């Protein structure tokens, strides 16, 4: 098997560390591994598969010989350094929002639209965490019945804010005042994720709207979202109200979910079997349940999905893209 020279940018962050965990779990074919981070982290040592690697400061001289670069260092870093990596021959998979809506960059969930990679630039965008876990059930439903409209309500864990969010929840539980969130996240849900726009939506909500359309190749699909931060450490939940083009039975919907790679039908409510953060944490499956008719509209369904936002919602999706990637086929 061919092995690749791989770089991880942002290797000391929450997602960066998970990149390394998933690369090891998947036994990714690595020839040389280079770990980049800020000047502050340079010189630190990280162990990967029994070998110590020293963190290298990210500079404009980086990426010589790198074939695949996994980025999770924030949008400004990606904007500056992803083009440098590509100019030196690398294919970039970027976890930030910097490139997602760029027309020349593929926005990819590998179970859905991996072929988009080969018609775009060599910067591949990893979608928003809540979008990833939502579009895979939607893909299964759309293939079987067609979809006319989607309404999302998300319940997003604090790890989606990074280590600062995790720390704020822990500190608030111990009686300290919040330093990151506007309220004590241990005692309330907060319907504010990212900045508010003039129309009352947040940037996070519009990410879900626009990314759903792009990934599913449905540019005119009516979509709306409300995104809520909840006092849970890890694994996001998303409630979806979906209007379908065709008549359906609940058994047919469940069969479509069950047959979609990457999804787990987890729906036996009489035995308290439904998606939750406990079952979804630390694996790469998307759990789907609470599937029922929406009695407020014709041909509508309601369903709830949960996934590990740091793994499938970020690091694992990026590594899965890299695993599926034909580097030689990428547009040069």
Can you list the positions of beta strands (E) in the chain? 4-9, 30-37, 45-48, 51-54, 56-57, 68-71, 91-94, 106-107, 123-125, 147-156, 223-229, 236-244, 263-265, 286-293, 300-307
248 contacts 140 by C-beta, under 8 angstroms: no
Q: Is 172 a catalytic residue?
A: no
Q: Return the DSSP state at 283.
A: S
Q: Find the catalytic residue in 105, 129, 172, 227.
A: 129
12 contacts 47 by C-beta, under 8 angstroms: no
Interatomic CA distance for residues 229 and 150, integer angstroms: 20
Total length of the chain: 332
* Structure-token pair, residue 329: 């086929």
282 contacts 210 by C-beta, under 8 angstroms: no
Question: Can you tell me which residue has the tokens 């079997």?
Answer: 273
Q: What is the largest CA-CA distance in the chain?
A: 60
117 contacts 124 by C-beta, under 8 angstroms: yes
- CB pairs under 8 A, 24+ apart, for 214-219? 214/100, 214/101, 214/107, 215/107, 215/108, 215/109, 215/112, 215/113, 215/127, 215/131, 215/135, 216/112, 216/135, 216/138, 216/139, 216/142, 217/113, 218/142, 218/147
Bridge-based pairing state of the strands 286-293 and 263-265: parallel
Q: Is 236 a catalytic residue?
A: yes
Handedness of CA 94, 100, 103, 109 (dihedral sign): positive
Q: Find the catalytic residue in 172, 227, 236, 305.
A: 236
Interatomic CA distance for residues 224 and 161, integer angstroms: 22
Q: Which residues are known catalytic residues?
A: 129, 236
């Amino acid at each position: 098997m061919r092995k690749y020279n791989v770089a991880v940018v942002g290797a000391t962050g929450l997602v960066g560390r998970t990149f390394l965990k998933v690369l090891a779990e998947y036994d990714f074919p690595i020839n040389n591994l280079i770990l980049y981070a800020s000047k502050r982290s340079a010189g630190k040592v990280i162990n990967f598969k029994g070998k110590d690697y020293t963190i290298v400061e990210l500079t404009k001289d980086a990426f010589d010989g790198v074939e695949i670069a996994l980025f999770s260092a924030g949008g400004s870093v990606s904007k500056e350094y992803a083009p440098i990596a590509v100019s030196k021959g690398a294919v970039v998979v970027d976890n930030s929002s910097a490139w997602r809506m760029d027309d020349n960059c593929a926005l990819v969930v590998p179970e859905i639209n991996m072929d988009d990679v080969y018609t775009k630039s060599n910067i591949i965008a990893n979608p928003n965490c809540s979008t990833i876990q939502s579009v895979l059930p939607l893909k299964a439903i759309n293939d079987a019945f067609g979809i006319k409209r989607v309404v999302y309500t998300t319940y997003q864990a604090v790890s989606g804010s990074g280590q600062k969010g995790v720390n704020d929840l822990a500190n608030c539980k111990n009686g300290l005042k919040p330093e990151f969130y506007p309220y004590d996240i241990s005692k309330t849900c907060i319907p504010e994720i990212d900045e508010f726009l003039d129309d009352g939506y947040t940037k996070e909500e519009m990410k879900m709207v626009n990314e759903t359309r792009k990934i599913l190749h449905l540019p005119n699909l009516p979509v709306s979202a409300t995104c809520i931060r909840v006092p849970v450490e890890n694994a996001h939940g998303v409630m979806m109200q979906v209007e379908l083009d065709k008549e359906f039975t609940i058994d047919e919907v469940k069969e479509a979910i069950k047959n979609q790679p990457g999804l787990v039908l987890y729906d036996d409510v009489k035995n308290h079997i439904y998606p939750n953060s406990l079952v979804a944490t630390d694996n790469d499956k998307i759990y789907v349940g609470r599937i029922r008719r929406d009695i407020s509209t014709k041909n509508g369904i309601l369903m709830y999905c949960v996934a590990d936002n740091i793994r499938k919602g970020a690091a694992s999706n990026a590594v899965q893209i890299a695993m599926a990637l034909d580097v030689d086929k990428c547009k040069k």
